[in-house]
Chain A
């Protein structure tokens, strides 16, 4: 068997499917995107090369910058609101134990189980200015109600709330699994030393969760950049372009405005941003790791 695995043909046959899949499903489309990004292709008929024209136009395209700003806001929302909350909830869940633990674990995960289309319509109704739940609650507490949550200045915040709420379950579940993997002996030792809940969380849970946090944050940032379906169903980028996100804008330009070349140019910029973000995040975390390793080596 060992000999079989050292046969180059066998290795090739085993690696080939993955490599081919990568080439045809990921690499080739990216190359095609780059190619079409330099054309004025409408998606049909003939086209001609226009060099960097699409990219020049993109630089002055308000809607595109708006969509990037919104993606950035979402990423910040994920990192600063969703993930700290998710981590704390996960830690609290871990302490609950018994029936309550599995009950709340389920409850927090429910939004992720429901289809995006349902989520979008659910929130459309919650936000509705006339009969929406949110305005009715405000009225019940003596407020005025009748607020239009999707007005051009408020819409982005309304959308962010939905997205942060929707992605919460995933983040929490991954943190929860991470916390469950921490050796309970450490907690015991800490409690013998007289550490309280807060100290235990800050000095044991948090440091040991670093790799999990790293994975989770990277995934959150990428998913913020890729956000499309919820926004598409909730506002489709409107009113105006106030809730436009990059992936949705790409779709609109390529398939609705018949600007396939331009859409591909957006796609290329989009890929570059995603790659750069991933590399930068990895760098940041690697430096931290490196510093920590150095500190340990130096006996600090």
Chain B
């Protein structure tokens, strides 16, 4: 009998320990005393600098103004963020989330019904730059709001240019000729983060825009919807990218080097130019970069291509990252209220500008302080003087399978291990 009791106890103990970890954690977010907990899921893990700091400042202000609201932030960097976003989409999203207003991200997410629809009429006074909401609109419904305006930039070291008598190129051929001159001086012409794939895809988009001008989005969307990339402009743009690599415009081994390594080449003065988005304009304020380099960083945009339709002032720019509200949020009203609070022009836009984060997707002209760096002003001028902007880069225009494919294949085509035609048919196949 005693043994039976012991054995029964053992079994019971096992069973209990087995289920101990399976507690339910689905407590309601709105408690009885009226306090509301908002969960914010962000792709900005650095809460002390740049964009993450701006986001945190607004969150803190909102909690101060609304004492009944508690905001919990979970922040992961981009890749981890996207993976967890997917996990959340299956088991319940946090209330306010970071998103990307590009088909490669948004299409799948909206189709899965994860995001709440926003009321367009709410935002007429928010001074959003014309066209900036397009990427966040799906079937004519608005699902999110853009945070930044990103511009494809060629940063250059002005002092190096002056000392060596190099001129800023006005045509693509001049850019390649300049590469020869810089190489002859024993310096790397342009630092390129080729290991990641997407900066080269942006470069490709940049060149393609110079070729096609206002037809850019038609050419791209046509190719992606049919999976047929044989358009002569796409072919020419790819050849121009390959031509740049062949002309040794990029550093040795560019196709395997990451963001940091490429940027270091430039910020150490080993490279004369650096191809990257306008978000890196804060380099001019970064104390880790030697003074003589950071104060000499200037920028120009992709020069015109012979026979291309776009002028020098037609620039590659787009609105990428932004925020949205979860469709199944239990506190949706509060979440939308918070989202709208963030986007009041004197919040994200103003704080972002003051912290040198780059350009927002809203009109920032009234927040100019006069203390902006020359680099910042050059980018502002480029955008203000732009006769047209490209919109989303090619790699983000298709489904994410296409994005993965082009960002990997572009390395092969640029380094010559794959022919231009094979590249175009391979990325076409990934759209089907």
**Contact with A44, one of B3, B109, B408, B411 (Cβ below 8 angstroms):** B109
Residues of B within 8 A of A142 (CB): none
Query: B108-150 interface mask toward A, CB cutoff 8 Å, 1 = contact, 0 = none?
Result: 1101111000000000000000000000000000000000000
**Contact with B417, one of A130, A152, A253 (Cβ below 8 angstroms):** A152
Name the distance in Å between A13's Cβ and chain B's nearest Cβ: 4
Query: A153-194 interface mask toward B, CB cutoff 8 Å, 1 = contact, 0 = none?
Result: 101000000000000000000000000000000000000000
B261 located at the interface, meaning its Cβ lies under 8 Å from any Cβ of chain A in the complex? yes
Task: Check A155 against B113 for contact (C-beta < 8 Å).
Answer: no
Chain B minimum-CB-distance residue to A45: B112
B168 located at the interface, meaning its Cβ lies under 8 Å from any Cβ of chain A in the complex? no
Task: Check A3 against B3 for contact (C-beta < 8 Å).
Answer: yes
Task: Check B253 against A258 for contact (C-beta < 8 Å).
Answer: no
CA distance A16 to B15 in the complex (A): 9
**Contact with A16, one of B4, B14, B109, B270 (Cβ below 8 angstroms):** B14
CA distance A150 to B399 in the complex (A): 29
Name the distance in Å between A18's Cβ and chain B's nearest Cβ: 11
**Contact with B108, one of A10, A152, A238, A258 (Cβ below 8 angstroms):** A258
Task: Check A152 against B412 for contact (C-beta < 8 Å).
Answer: yes
B344 located at the interface, meaning its Cβ lies under 8 Å from any Cβ of chain A in the complex? no
A42 located at the interface, meaning its Cβ lies under 8 Å from any Cβ of chain B in the complex? yes
Max chain B C-beta neighbours (<10 A), residue from A45, A238, A252:
A238
CA distance A20 to B3 in the complex (A): 25
Residues of A within 8 A of B14 (CB): 13, 16-17
Task: Check A9 against B256 for contact (C-beta < 8 Å).
Answer: no
Name the distance in Å between A207's Cβ and chain B's nearest Cβ: 45
Chain A minimum-CB-distance residue to B89: A44
A199 located at the interface, meaning its Cβ lies under 8 Å from any Cβ of chain B in the complex? no
CA distance A256 to B105 in the complex (A): 10
Query: A7-25 interface mask toward B, CB cutoff 8 Å, 1 = contact, 0 = none?
Result: 1011011101100100000
CA distance A128 to B114 in the complex (A): 43
The interface stretch among A27-35, A70-78, A239-247, A290-298 is A239-247
B294 located at the interface, meaning its Cβ lies under 8 Å from any Cβ of chain A in the complex? no
Task: Check B404 against A155 for contact (C-beta < 8 Å).
Answer: no
**Contact with A148, one of B18, B113, B252, B408 (Cβ below 8 angstroms):** B252
Q: Provided the pairs A45-B113, A128-B253, A237-B408 are in contact, do residues A257 and B417 lie with their beta carbons within 8 angstroms?
A: no
Query: What is the interface size of chain B, counting residues whose CB is below 8 A from a CB of the partner?
Result: 47
Chain B minimum-CB-distance residue to A260: B86
CA distance A155 to B411 in the complex (A): 13
Q: Provided the pairs A44-B109, A152-B417, A258-B108 are in contact, do residues A240 and B412 lie with their beta carbons within 8 angstroms?
A: yes
Task: Check A152 against B3 for contact (C-beta < 8 Å).
Answer: no
B10 located at the interface, meaning its Cβ lies under 8 Å from any Cβ of chain A in the complex? yes
A236 located at the interface, meaning its Cβ lies under 8 Å from any Cβ of chain B in the complex? yes
Task: Check B252 against A257 for contact (C-beta < 8 Å).
Answer: no
B400 located at the interface, meaning its Cβ lies under 8 Å from any Cβ of chain A in the complex? yes
CA distance A13 to B251 in the complex (A): 63
A83 located at the interface, meaning its Cβ lies under 8 Å from any Cβ of chain B in the complex? no
Task: Check B405 against A257 for contact (C-beta < 8 Å).
Answer: yes
Residues of B within 8 A of A235 (CB): 195, 256
Q: Provided the pairs A9-B7, A42-B108 are in contact, do residues A240 and B256 lie with their beta carbons within 8 angstroms?
A: no
B418 located at the interface, meaning its Cβ lies under 8 Å from any Cβ of chain A in the complex? yes
B20 located at the interface, meaning its Cβ lies under 8 Å from any Cβ of chain A in the complex? no
CA distance A7 to B8 in the complex (A): 10
Query: A241-269 interface mask toward B, CB cutoff 8 Å, 1 = contact, 0 = none?
Result: 11000000000110111110000000000
Name the distance in Å between B257's Cβ and chain A's nearest Cβ: 8
CA distance A20 to B21 in the complex (A): 14
Residues of A within 8 A of B188 (CB): 130
Name the distance in Å between A282's Cβ and chain B's nearest Cβ: 33
Task: Check B114 against A150 for contact (C-beta < 8 Å).
Answer: no
**Contact with B404, one of A3, A148, A256 (Cβ below 8 angstroms):** A256
Residues of B within 8 A of A16 (CB): 14
**Contact with A45, one of B82, B83, B111, B251 (Cβ below 8 angstroms):** B111
Q: Provided the pairs A45-B111, A257-B400 are in contact, do residues A240 and B408 lie with their beta carbons within 8 angstroms?
A: yes
Chain A minimum-CB-distance residue to B14: A13
Task: Check A148 against B3 for contact (C-beta < 8 Å).
Answer: no
Task: Check B399 against A258 for contact (C-beta < 8 Å).
Answer: yes
Residues of A within 8 A of B83 (CB): 255
Task: Check B253 against A240 for contact (C-beta < 8 Å).
Answer: no
Name the distance in Å between B399's Cβ and chain A's nearest Cβ: 7
Task: Check A238 against B411 for contact (C-beta < 8 Å).
Answer: yes
**Contact with B265, one of A45, A130, A253 (Cβ below 8 angstroms):** A130
Task: Check A258 against B401 for contact (C-beta < 8 Å).
Answer: yes
Task: Check B415 against A151 for contact (C-beta < 8 Å).
Answer: yes
Task: Check B3 against A238 for contact (C-beta < 8 Å).
Answer: no
**Contact with A239, one of B18, B89, B417 (Cβ below 8 angstroms):** B417
Task: Check B408 against A241 for contact (C-beta < 8 Å).
Answer: yes
Task: Check A257 against B403 for contact (C-beta < 8 Å).
Answer: yes
A111 located at the interface, meaning its Cβ lies under 8 Å from any Cβ of chain B in the complex? no
Q: Provided the pairs A44-B89, A255-B83 are in contact, do residues A152 and B10 lie with their beta carbons within 8 angstroms?
A: no
A43 located at the interface, meaning its Cβ lies under 8 Å from any Cβ of chain B in the complex? yes
Residues of B within 8 A of A148 (CB): 252-253, 256
Task: Check A44 against B112 for contact (C-beta < 8 Å).
Answer: yes
Task: Check A255 against B86 for contact (C-beta < 8 Å).
Answer: yes
Chain B minimum-CB-distance residue to A1: B3
Q: Which are the 5 A-B pairs with shortest beta-carbon distances?
A: A45-B112, A240-B412, A150-B256, A44-B112, A257-B404
Contacts beyond the supplied A7-B4, A9-B8: 20 A-B pairs with Cβ under 8 Å? A10-B7, A13-B14, A17-B18, A42-B108, A44-B109, A44-B112, A44-B114, A149-B253, A150-B255, A152-B415, A237-B408, A239-B255, A239-B256, A240-B409, A241-B408, A242-B412, A253-B401, A256-B79, A257-B400, A258-B400
- 8 intermolecular pairs with C-beta atoms under 8 Å apart: A43-B86, A45-B111, A130-B251, A236-B195, A238-B195, A239-B194, A239-B412, A240-B408
